[in-house]
Every structure is written in C-alpha cells, then in structure tokens.
Amino acid sequence: MSREIMNSSIVSLNVGTPVEAMHGKKPIQTGIFKSSSAGRHYLSATGLAGDGQADLVHHGGPDKAVCAYFERHFPYWEEWLGDKLSYGAFGENWTLSDWTEHDLFIGDIVQAGDVIVQVSQPRQPCFKLGIRHNRPELTMQVQNTGYTGFYFRVLREGDVESGDALKIVERHPAAISLAEANRVMYQGKDDLQGMAALLEVEALSASWKETFSSRIERLQQAMQGGRED
C-alpha cells in the first residue's frame, strides 16, 4: 500500500575520480573514494560533473547515474567499523537525510533542485567497499544488513548541490520498496512470485531484470526436470 513519507534532502554531494588502490597484491582502478563537494554540479543522464567510475560495466550508466546512501545508517557503521565516517564513505554521490530502503519504491520519481530522478535499483555492494575501509568483510555485512543504498536514473538533467530538498513527486503504484527488492535478490532466490512482481516494474534497471529473468528460467527448468523424473 502506498503511503506518504516526509521529504528528504541532500546532506552532502560527493564526487571523486578513479584512483589506484590495491586489491590484495593487485593494483586496480576504483572510483569508490568520494568526498563532499561544495557548489552546484551539473547532473547529466550518465552522472555528475566532476565524478567518475573506473568499472563502467558494474557502475555508472543511465540506470546508475547517481549512487545514493542514507545518513541514518552512518551511526550503525561507525559503531561496526569503530571509526568516524565522512560523507561519501560508501562511494555515494548523494548522502540523503531521513529516508531508508524501506521508504522508497522502485520507480519512485523524485525532484532534487533542478533535476528529476527515478529510483532504479538497490546498490549491489562490491569488494571495493572493503578496500575503501580496509575491511574485506564489509561488503557482505552491507548485503546482510540490507543497508545498501540505491541508484537513481536521470529523467531531467540540471544542476544540483548539497542542501537541495528531495521530494517524491510520483510514487510507483507497485509499491515495491528497495528493502523488498534486496530481500528478493539476496534471501528470496527461489521466490518466483517476488521476482515476477519486480519484473513487472518497468522502471527496474536492465541488469536486475536480467538477473531475475535468468533465475526464473533456471528455476522453471529445474522444476520441469523434476517432474520428468
């Protein structure tokens, strides 16, 4: 059931260009190191001016133009990591006030300053979060807690900055939260009904649609094979 929620704001706008970091003994390029940036930044369909990603297969692009994370999760992670965190600590472009994964639906349309964006998918934590904080186990902890953050696609380009208010201008009628999408992705891998419901949401990112479609196909093949036996 759709419900009204309070507005949010961009507590911090964070950018960073790829740098070299060590993954074990191997040097890699990563854009996970982001920091707060003052002033207005232009947001195009592929991301913020002044920002960059090293792995364009898994990061960035139209479905992942803005990575957002929730300020409300920072106290948990500061206790878990035993360290004070700065905004951008999770590689997010926008650190958001008030909301969490339970408040936003896949397909929600949000206005922020001059821009209009749409929720496309939860953020899938990768090993580079562990590199960022020198804690390899962090990636799985983010997944297990569901404190993943998420991505926006851009529907209307424009300028945006820290302090801009965020307002949901259209709630998606399917009302599938980011938290529910995470549940289906990580705990409900045989939840055919849950995956089918997500696939009905046109606004879901192409990569998540592909993942769920492949899972459904494999499950259906396994079920057919079992009946034949």
Reported as a single tens digit per residue, the pLDDT across 141-178 is 999 999 999 999 999 999 999 999 999 999 999 999 99
Q: What residue ranges of the chain have pLDDT lower than 70?
A: 1-4, 20, 22, 53-60, 226-229
pLDDT at 1: 39
Domains along the chain with CATH numbers: 8-174 (2.40.33.20)
Instruction: Tell me the residue ranges of DSSP E strands in 31-135.
Output: 35-36, 41-44, 47-48, 66-70, 94-96, 109-112, 115-122
pLDDT at 33: 87
Calpha distance 136→26 (Å, rounded):
15
pLDDT at 6: 82
pLDDT at 2: 46
C-alpha triplet 186, 187, 193: angle, nearest 5°: 100
Q: Which two tokens stand for residue 51?
A: 């920002």
pLDDT at 174: 98
Q: What totals of helices (H) and strands (E) does the chain contain, helices first?
A: 6, 13
Contact 221, 192 (CB under 8 A): no
pLDDT at 53: 63
pLDDT at 172: 98
Q: Which two tokens stand for residue 196?
A: 């089918």
